[in-house]
Structure 1
Amino acid sequence: MSPAGAGATLETLPNGLRLLLAPATTAGTTAVAVHAGVGFRGEPADSSGLAHLFEHLMFAGSAGVEPGGHFAAVEAVGGAVGGHTRHDYTELFEVVPAHAVDEVVRLEVDRLAGPRLDPATLATQVEVIRAEIAQQVDGVPYGGFPWRHLPPAMFDTSPHVRDGYGDVAALRRVGVDDAAAFFDHWWAPGNLVVTVEGDLDHLDVGRTRELLSALPARAVPPATPLAEPALAADRHLEVAAANVPAPVWAAGFRLPDPALSPRLHGACTALAGLLPAQEPALRVSARSGWYGVPLDARDPDVLVLSTHPRPGVDGAPLLAAMRDLLAAWAPGAATPALLGTARTRLALGEYARGERLAHRARRLGAATLLLGSTDVLASADPTTCLDRDLLGEAAAYLLDQHAGTVLVTPGPAGSPATTPGGDS
């Protein structure tokens, strides 16, 4: 075993699966999280949404569990389940009373051995995804903003411009053999991290190792190449969306690679937490990472600034205003008074994130999968990266790059993006 953050231990089993045990004081609860090293940036180019489909399939039955049985078993003991598909990973998780943790481990092993794959199951889950897109994205005001609209302004290659939910028409063409090949390739034990966090007094660690080690070893796929040159000029796009009641605008800046510069990444995250309060009249929202969760993707990841523009204000003046916000933190500038309350502001934000279901287990597992260690969580903690010189370095890093921006306006669904004037 090796250290994996405060009180946690990381062990690689004979089949390559990494088991992370993270004891913590809880109200008698335990979280189990599974992270697989495939997200929508790893999908085949002609099968957009396949990673998301497997998030659903992992709850749709397996060799020893009927469809819906995973939910039923966890909820029967008063627990809760969840799952997400991100850029570079898929996560599944449960929170249960500590006495039920061994049963949850057994359930996880059952589906990690192979989900139920047959034409009817595939068709049902594709329909569930179609409904999910209709209800949770297209049917919600501003649904999908900015992660659905901004990537084409920042990137050109296929992995970066997918929206994660997927193309329903493409998913309907996925057959059982295609799905089985995807699972065998990406859900190999050596591409998995299983985290058990919280009250571990009831966990049979030896039996957990035995069950997880019994999963047959398979070749571990290489990570999807994600390198892409930085923008050579600012790029401004406009796109119409039927679910946008009023214009909304966003700008994206690349974050530093946390594997190489964790504290610089943490300082950029700190700025994301401070900029909205710097000029309240601008009504700026900021997020470190596409979904507002830092360290949630491999490099490249983004810092996003967004706002609702005044009528007649286009992308260039808005981007200039965002750069003015950053310039207040640049080296040589007077220290913004906001720095005096920065630690409290950021700590409150971290507390709010920490209230999410299975948050610590999910963060530990994702960091282990994406970055090979949980140490980066402490190194890149924005509350510890408030040194004035480091914040200046972060501001300079963001200012010293070209940005992508997108203006989304009300209009018919599916209206194509335009590039007024091209790159500028």
Structure 2
Amino acid sequence: MTPFPAPTLERLPNGLRLVVAPGARAGVAAVAVHVGVGFRAEPPGASGLAHLFEHLMFAGSAHVPAGGHFAAVEAGGGRVGAHTRHDHTEFFDLVAAPALGETVALEADRLAGPRLDQHALSTQVDVIAAEIAQQVDAVPFGGFPWRQLPAVLWRSPTSTHDGYGDLAALRAVTLEDCERFFERWYDPRNVVVTLEGELEPREVDRAREALAAVPARTGPAPTPVPVAEPPLVEDRHLTTVAANAPAPAWAAGFRMPDPVGEPQLHAACTALATLLPLHAPALRLTGRSGWYGVPADARTPDVLVLSTHPRPGVAPEPLAAALRESLAALAEDVRRSTPSAVLRTAAARLRHQAYQRGERTAHRARRLGATELLFGDYRLDERLDPADALGALPAALAHVLDQPMASVLVTPAGGDA
């Protein structure tokens, strides 16, 4: 039984979808805005444009000055965040419940049209350059493995280019490029707004009114870019050098099942990301369902990533063999009448992990909005509970073991590859 009232979905006259999800009465409310554009929708030669536009959405709008969104929310004790992912861009606010309506009005104002000028464009490109330098390049293993592994796992530039952004390409972006990008993708028909938490009816009405005032667009609605990828026919391994790698790091990627068509299998593969590292401690594995550790956070194909830090001089092939042996050992354990402690405690571990994830800022609002936008099902996560899918572990292990592996081995500059 869900601890909260069931969320509801409505479509406003301008095509924008609104999810209303009453939650714990703690005096706070969350606003999540999901726009159906991410790294994989960027046009050729414009790597990083989706990420750049996420930044530009904070550069002001018709009734809000540059930086005004942060100032207004934080003045009331709230918090603001945003991310650009493979197939969507999300903005979210956590605010005091009485501030919900005015916060949504801020979001609606920039959905109607951000304030685009050359100063803002140049400034935000510089901000992104600093972000890459300070939060990726200067951080040990920063960007690993999502900057290297996609080019081994996938074939299409749509899925393999670096969504953080090519700085030379970003410095060539014009205001006209940004205006076209906004007109194509920031259409209210391509937007989901979620309200979650302690929702006062008057504030929900104010929010709905503000969102309904976002101008409707004419012409065809935006459609997602094709992201289909052919399956690998054999293992692919890449060894490369990274200046920010103080020691070797290795990651293997496997194609995840479709979460809509095979929810139990997808959830069981998500469980593997937690259970295999515990079952094979000698490999010192870290597992992720999805590039950023969030299941069903991208359209199919998505990825299961298993990574480790091997000793210097080890090649990818023996690492791949050791990983497959560990997967096979887990499959054998699943078949036993008396399984190991890892499997006996699996449900509790997975539920504890889900509880911890749910404590993140605006987590429920962000997941409801993301799954509605990506899969047309704002309640999809209810069918993707890894703890409820443990019966599908044999099928999940077969799904992983039966497919070729892509891997990347990153070595230190000047080190032994």
State whether structure 2 residue 349 is matched by structure 1 residue 359. no
- 8 A Cα contact 2:59 2:115, kept in partner: yes
Identify which of 396, 402, 405 aligns with 1:403.
405
Amino acid at match of 1:180: E
Could you tell me the percent identity over the aligned residues? 61
Return the letter of the residue paired with 1:287: R
**2:208 counterpart SS class:** helix
The residue that corresponds to 2:277 in the other structure is 276
What residue number does 1:215 align with? 214
- Which residue is equivalent to 1:120? 119
With the length of structure 1 as denominator, give the TM-score of the two structures: 0.93
Unaligned runs of 5+ in 2: none
Match of residue 71 from structure 1: 70
How much does 1:232 deviate? 1.1
Unmatched 5+ stretches in structure 1: none
Q: How does 1:14-413 map to 2 (within 5 A)?
A: 14-201=13-200, 203-218=202-217, 219-330=220-331, 333-334=335-336, 335-387=339-391, 390-411=392-413
Take 2:25 and 2:127, find their aligned partners in 1: how far apart are those partners? 34
Which one-letter code corresponds to 1:27 in the other structure? A
1:6 deviates by 5.1
2-side partners of 1:322 and 1:383: how far apart? 23
Note the alpha carbon deviations across 1:246-292, whole angstroms, 9 max, x for none: 01000000000101101110000011110111121210111100001
**One-letter amino acid of the counterpart of residue 346, structure 1:** L
For the Cα contact (< 8 Å) 1:186–1:220, is it kept in 2? no
In the alignment, what sits opposite 1:9?
A: 8
Shift of 1:352: 2.1
Counterparts of 2:126 and 2:65, CA distance in 1: 19
Deviation track 1:304-341 (CA, whole Å, cap 9, x = no partner) reads: 00001123321111111111222234378434441101
| CA distance 1:203–1:276, shift in 2 (3 Å) | farther
Instruction: Give the superposition deviation at 1:119.
Output: 0.8
Secondary structure of the residue aligned to 1:177 is helix
How far, CA to CA, are the matches of 1:400 and 1:144 in structure 2? Answer: 28
Distance 1:329 1:241 in 2: 32
* 1:237/1:67 CA distance change after superposition, 3 Å: same
Separation of aligned partners in 2, 1:202 and 1:104: 15
Contact in 2 for aligned 1:39/1:86 (Cα 8 Å): yes
Distance apart, 1:203 and its partner CA? 4.3
Alpha-carbon separation, structure 2, partners of 1:159 and 1:79? 36
CA RMSD between the two structures: 1.6
Is the CA contact (8 Å cut-off) linking 1:30 and 1:196 kept in structure 2?
yes
Matches of 1:375 and 1:204, distance apart in 2: 23
CA contact (8 A) 2:276 2:330 kept: no
Q: Please state how far the C-alpha of 1:207 moved relative to its aligned partner.
A: 3.1
Distance 2:211 2:78 in 1: 22
Deviating beyond 4 angstroms after TM superposition, the runs of 4 or more aligned structure 1 residues are: none
**Alignment length (residue pairs):** 408
Q: 1:76 and 1:202 mapped to 2: Cα distance?
A: 23
**TM-score, structure 2 normalization:** 0.95
Matches of 2:393 and 2:41, distance apart in 1: 33
SS of 1:204's partner is helix
Residue identity matched to 1:40: F
SS in 2 for 1:196: strand
State the alpha-carbon separation in 2 of the partners of residues 114 and 245 from structure 1. 44
Structure 1 stretch displaced more, 313-322 or 286-295: 313-322
Q: Structure 1, residues 69-93: CA drift from partner, whole Å, max 9, x if none?
A: 0000001100000000000000000
Give CA deviations for 1:95-118 in whole Å, capped at 9, x if unaligned.
000011111011011010111111
Q: CA deviation at 1:382?
A: 0.6
CA separation in 2, counterparts of 1:26 and 1:137? 38
Segment of structure 1 superposing worse, 150-159 or 182-191? 150-159
The question of whether the paired residues in 2 share the 8 Å contact of 1:329 and 1:336 is answered with: no
Separation in 2, partners of 1:105, 1:250: 40
